[in-house]
Amino acid sequence: MNALGLAILALALGHVFSNAVRTIPAMAADVLQRDLGLTADGLAAITGAFPAAFAFAMLPVGVALDRYGVKPTALVLLAIAGVGALLGAAATGPWTMLLGQVVLGIGCSGMLMCPVTHAAKTLPPQKFGLWGGVIQAFGNTGMLLSASPLALLVEHAGWRAGYVACALLAAGAAAAVAAVVRERRAEVPAQRGVIEDAREVVVLGLSREIRGPVVIAFASFAAVLGVRGLWGGPWLMEVKGLARVPAGNVLLLCTIALILGPALAGMLERRFQARRRALLVSGHLGAAAAIVAMVAGGALGWGVAADAVLLVAFGLLISLQVICFALVRAAVPPERVGRALSAMNISFFGGAAVLQAASGGAAAVAGVGGALLVFAAALVVCTLAFLRLPGAR
């Protein structure tokens, strides 16, 4: 692998960290509720602070990526994220865990955008879609850590050990970025101010060129975080009656699909560029159908094997979300790509914050199945809206 590929993967280690730390509640929900004095909807509300802070921080992150460069932005964010993981490990109640989630959300806000922006600025457009899938696939390996390995760690050392392990991962990622990432200093026109750059992020997000990807992104990552990151574990343990480690093994299958899926999606995008909107729509509607089938199967008494198949299908189908990055990259010039991608990422994580909070309310009324159906409904609504909007092809 050449130096550019190594630099992209070093930056993607931050995305590995982000995926690991934000999916801890999926395997430790019961003990987190017990130790912090929370209900299920209370835990959903607190962990929803992560994507909310993430979305809020994306505005300055988008500016920083174009104004100051990828490497310094990544190093600052990794330091903040490491502190957030330690705050999570030291949490003694709802408010201290809330603080940890907010700091983690800020720190993780650029973990995907850093490698994606570096790739967008240094690779030719025809290679960007494939590398976008590689970045997402590599980053999703972080979810492997929060499946069976985390289940075992929680059983033997408690959930706090999971946050400590993530803090060590953030330190390792920062060391890798410092060692291998090289980039030219960003050139910023003297007449432009930071406020003007920040305003452009907002304008880009509302623009005709990328409005479609921004809309479908609102539900896209929210579904991943809701199914794999929060409610998948409670569904398998509370509804299906699995113990923690067997539930972790089932979620591991979904995680593998979320690792393989983006790489496959990147190859499909490169092979069928003229049909990438159709691929994106099919993936999101298919993912919604998989969620609905899983919830319906719970009422019909389907076995855990059916859940495993549906979770794998969900992971593969929702992974077509990486096409959103290719659509945005095709719509803007390289010097604006950091801000444009960050505008879309605000929607990714803003949607996750809103829908996770909604899922907590649904769980209080209709149980875990109701929470999962919130994400299925959002996928359908946002996908149909995407179909009616113009934008990048």
Structure tokens that stand for 66 in this block: 């174009």
288 lies in a domain? yes
Q: Please return the burial class of 292, using the count of CB atoms within 10 Å of its CB with bins 0-12, 13-18 and 19+.
A: middle
Predicted pLDDT at 315 = 93
pLDDT by 10s per residue, the chain, length 393: 678 888 999 999 999 998 888 777 766 777 888 888 888 778 877 877 887 888 788 778 877 887 788 999 999 999 999 999 999 999 888 899 999 999 999 999 889 889 988 887 887 766 776 777 788 788 878 777 766 677 777 778 888 888 998 999 999 999 999 999 887 765 555 455 566 766 777 777 777 778 888 899 999 989 988 888 778 888 888 888 888 778 878 888 888 898 888 888 888 887 777 788 889 999 999 999 999 999 998 778 788 899 999 999 999 999 999 888 888 877 777 667 777 777 887 888 788 878 988 888 898 888 889 999 999 999 999 999 998 886 554
287 lies in a domain? yes
134 lies in a domain? yes
CATH number at residue 143: 1.20.1250.20
Domain count, the chain: 1
Predicted pLDDT at 11 = 93
**Are the beta carbons of 149 and 20 closer than 8 angstroms?**
no
Predicted pLDDT at 194 = 60
382 lies in a domain? yes
Q: How far apart are the first and last CA of the chain?
A: 31
327 lies in a domain? yes
CA 134/CA 185 separation, integer angstroms: 26
CA 34/CA 37 separation, integer angstroms: 5
Residue 313 belongs to domain spanning: 3-180+194-388
Closest CA to 249 of 207, 197, 312: 312
Q: What is the pTM of this model?
A: 0.74
185 lies in a domain? no
Predicted pLDDT at 248 = 79
Predicted pLDDT at 216 = 93
109 lies in a domain? yes
